[in-house]
Amino acid sequence: MNEPLQNIVEPLLHWFDSNKRDLPWRRDTEPYHVWISEIMLQQTRIEAVMRYYARFMEALPDIRSLSEVDDDRLLKLWEGLGYYSRARNLKKAAVAVMNDHAGQFPNTFTKLKKLPGIGEYTAGAIASICFDEKVAAVDGNVLRVIARIQGSRENVLLPQTKKVFSEELTKIMPRHSGAFNEALMELGELICLPNGTPLCSACPLRSCCTAYRENLTAEIPVRVKKLKRSRKDLTVLVLLTPDGRIAIEKRPDTGLLSGMYQLPNIEGFYTENELFTILQDWHLSPKTIRFLKDAKHVFTHIDWCMKGYTAEITEPSGRFLWVTEHQLSAAYPLPTAFRKITD
């Protein structure tokens, strides 16, 4: 199986040299830049990451500034990217680098994996791109490319499949390991597309691709999910004072969206009459309550189904933090789930 895989190295590197995109984090091999971009790119499209990356680097240009940033400021910079534990782990890792490595990024795959939030893929990307270590960096794009090249029907969602592919790629890793890993990712993003629609006519590897040769690109890679999703119904409240301030509150320090701010909400669906009673129990005096919209937000393991209402409150209570629209936009990280109601 390794022998035909060896044949992809030269054509892939040649293709990448002529076709790689000019991305901000590719303009140097500074580990801080590569690290931030790789974490941002998890579960997020490159087009969306571009503006977040520029804003993040302007605010936190180096690892020291990241290690010292206020948590609310950090989450505000991350707002909209989702998976907020990624941002918290960035700061934890930055603190570890400052305290345990004298501010210098660890330069091996093994040491990188010990930092909070850095798994095998991210460690492989940093180690190969920044330090030329011959180690694979296998993400979903790479899994798809290799599965099609080899005609593999192994479930690419299984850790064992990823482990095997990583071992096979490590065996054929060229001297320019960073370029090779980036080339595989780039091919998966631009050419070897998911859902059975790859651009095979433009692929530099089609001559050695089993899925192309046997017309199996619609069937490979095999992805068998065993995850059972759950659903949570929420009534979400946009509480407004006469001078335009809006009620928010901080979420618990643990669990989903921990440490973020949220709109007041109650599990379950409620009528306007029921909400009048609830607000009075909260020592609020609503003048009006009206339905805003239905919205849904999909997390990894759970769907939030939300009914949004707005209420004009005559006097704010101390139960919530009351902020202006500008303050909410500038200083308080509000998850995208709740912005689907305010928008």
**Packed helices 177-190 and 140-150: angle between N→C axes, nearest 10 degrees:** 80
Closest-CA residue to 257 (of 93, 97, 75): 75
β-bridge partners, 240: 246, 312
d(C-alpha 165, C-alpha 181), whole Å: 13
d(C-alpha 198, C-alpha 212), whole Å: 9
Q: Which of 38, 120, 154, 189 is catalytic?
A: 38
For 312, the enclosing helix (H) or strand (E) is strand 302-313
Phi-psi domain of 69 (left: phi exceeds 0; alpha: psi -120 through 50; beta: other): beta
274 is catalytic: no
d(C-alpha 185, C-alpha 180), whole Å: 9
Query: How many angstroms separate the Cα of 30 from the Cα of each of 25, 118, 180, 201?
Result: 8, 16, 18, 35
Closest-CA residue to 340 (of 46, 44, 40, 82): 82
Contact (Cβ atoms closer than 8 angstroms) between residue 303 and residue 231:
yes
d(C-alpha 255, C-alpha 257), whole Å: 6
For 238, the enclosing helix (H) or strand (E) is strand 230-240
Mode of pairing for the β-strands spanning 246-250 and 261-262: antiparallel
The set of catalytic residues is 38
